[in-house]
Chains A and B, each alone.
Chain A
């Protein structure tokens, strides 16, 4: 015999099969006529996402419409999935900017470290999840695509304000 047998103290005088069957049927019938259904009609209706939802990235831009990124190289360094490719460049005034900035969303684990580490608040994760593609290459977002994204960005958890969102 097994060591742990679950023995229920079931009062025999109350265990009735016919009546408990009818009770169960009454329960399911109430559920059936209950107009409240839990189904979300997905493409038409969408769940509200948490403000801290971590989805596909966005690159924010400055007033001139250029990427805020200064190609400091912190995000590819911190990225645990190694999915950020960054080649820095420098213009004639000595400002650094990314020559190539690619994020492979297929490799990304959406940890949010890149947003956390970014000194310029340039790269952000977004509140967005519909990122299906027909090919693996389609998941590699280049700088233009990252800048073109318009979905709201993720609000990171602030250690100084643990309750705030």
Chain B
């Protein structure tokens, strides 16, 4: 493991010191400590998020938000949790009980175990050996994320099916269709990242970004598509069709109550944390502190680990806020709009983008830009940035002007449109004349 790390790090120009790998005992103890710390932060974070969501929604709508339980409403999540634990567990007559109980657990577990591979701080070369700040720093890190991420749909589909309720089933069906559709765009949008990093290990992706600039600057379109697709994956507004209240009561969790219902909420916020962490890792440099390289270089002290951990937490917090911000800004998509956005816009866009980026990477690498630095910046990064500006203007400024997604009026023939408008005036005229 450490041999691989050393070799890869040297190739990328990031030096690593010769601290020996940790022994088996140290490995076990550190892993257990990491599990406990992550799990605690995660659950406390979910609690905080339930309050934060209500507060953000309130502020955006000009309200104050929950402020009765504790100072400024800080104890509200605890009050909610107590209430949900005290409530009666109801089982509607026709549910498939084992699956009905299993579904919330799946939804939550899947969101949680994605965290195993996400590096949340710089590694620490301690006195006990090299300690990686991810639970399981696997070389196939990102593939693991994709594999686990696609399991997330099971919790929702099983919940919808086990409830034996037409609305829940429809919610589950929508969710599966939506998740499968957007997973393709999601996977496609990460291919440029992998092309740049030349690796699927998440710590390699972070090192690459530290050296050549964050991917948000080099791959804005991929980042944009990734974020949009992850909104759909987490079933958040504007893609929250599986639980659209106006049509499906509350979708897949219609029949759930008490703590099982709460588990779905915990799962949603757990997914949110995971999504934010992934966005930070893949496009915003992970635990990298911007404008510096010293945090990526040896010696990897505990202090650096601490600082980079804080940087990562700040990035994740920002994206958590963005998720809420978007939720309380945008209306819900219609189902056909959702599907056409996924299949007709994002997927072709990403396929084209991969071709362009692959060609650019090949060209810039061939020119040997990766080893050069211009006034402290990586030449490769600058070249990618310039290309990115051109592509972003093309997509967001030119193609977005009613050319890619257009209002319904453009799909109606010109004559038909004029007919419709004339008809509107005709039907209104007699009423205004007052007979």
Using a CB–CB cutoff of 8 Å, the interface residues on chain A facing chain B are 3-10, 12-19, 21, 24-25, 27-29, 31-34, 36-39, 41
Contact = CB atoms under 8 A, between A and B. Distances in A.
B400 A17 contact: yes
Given A12-B410, A18-B224, 19 more contacts: A4-B427, A5-B424, A7-B417, A7-B421, A9-B409, A12-B401, A14-B401, A15-B401, A15-B406, A16-B402, A18-B396, A24-B330, A25-B325, A29-B325, A34-B62, A36-B62, A37-B62, A38-B62, A39-B63
B68 to A, nearest CB: 10
A12 B328 CA distance: 26
Contacts of B406: 12, 15
A18 B62 contact: no
Question: Is chain B's interface secondary structure helix, strand, loop, or mixed overall?
Answer: helix
Interface string B306-328: 00000000000000000001101
Interface in B410-424: 410, 417, 420-421, 423-424
B329 A16 contact: no
Given A7-B409, A25-B325, A31 B60 contact: yes
Contacts of B407: 8, 10, 12, 15
Contacts of A29: 60, 325
Given A4-B424, A7-B409, A34-B62, A18 B328 contact: no
A13 B402 CA distance: 6
A5 B402 contact: no
B143 to A, nearest CB: 30
B205 interface: no
B273 interface: no
Contacts of B63: 37-39
A18 B393 CA distance: 12
Interface string B35-75: 00000000000000000000010111111100000000000
26 contacts: A7-B417, A7-B420, A7-B424, A8-B407, A10-B409, A12-B401, A12-B407, A13-B401, A13-B402, A15-B402, A16-B400, A16-B402, A17-B400, A18-B224, A24-B329, A25-B326, A25-B329, A28-B325, A28-B329, A29-B60, A31-B61, A32-B59, A33-B59, A36-B62, A39-B63, A39-B64
A25 B62 CA distance: 15
Contacts of A27: 329
Nearest to A33: B59
B26 interface: no
Contact of A19 (B62, B400, B417, B424): B400
A25 B63 CA distance: 17
Nearest to A38: B62
Contact of A8 (B330, B402, B409, B423): B409
B405 interface: yes
A12 B402 contact: yes
Contacts of A17: 400, 405
A15 B409 CA distance: 11
B198 to A, nearest CB: 30
B400 A28 contact: no
A47 to B, nearest CB: 16
Contacts of B421: 7, 9
B401 A16 contact: yes
Nearest to A10: B407
B433 to A, nearest CB: 17
Contacts of A24: 329-330
Contact of A28 (B328, B409, B420, B424): B328
Contacts of A7: 409, 417, 420-421, 424
B62 A3 contact: no
- The list of the 8 closest CB pairs from A to B, nearest first, reads A12-B402, A39-B64, A32-B59, A28-B329, A16-B400, A28-B60, A15-B402, A32-B60
Interface in B324-348: 325-326, 328-330
Contacts of B62: 31, 34, 36-39
Interface centre among B63, B64, B329, by most A CB within 10 Å?
B329
A39 B64 CA distance: 6
Nearest to B325: A25
Contacts of A38: 62-63
A35 to B, nearest CB: 10
Contacts of B61: 31
A12 B406 CA distance: 7
A21 B330 contact: yes
Interface in B181-229: 224
Interface in B379-404: 396, 400-402
B407 to A, nearest CB: 5
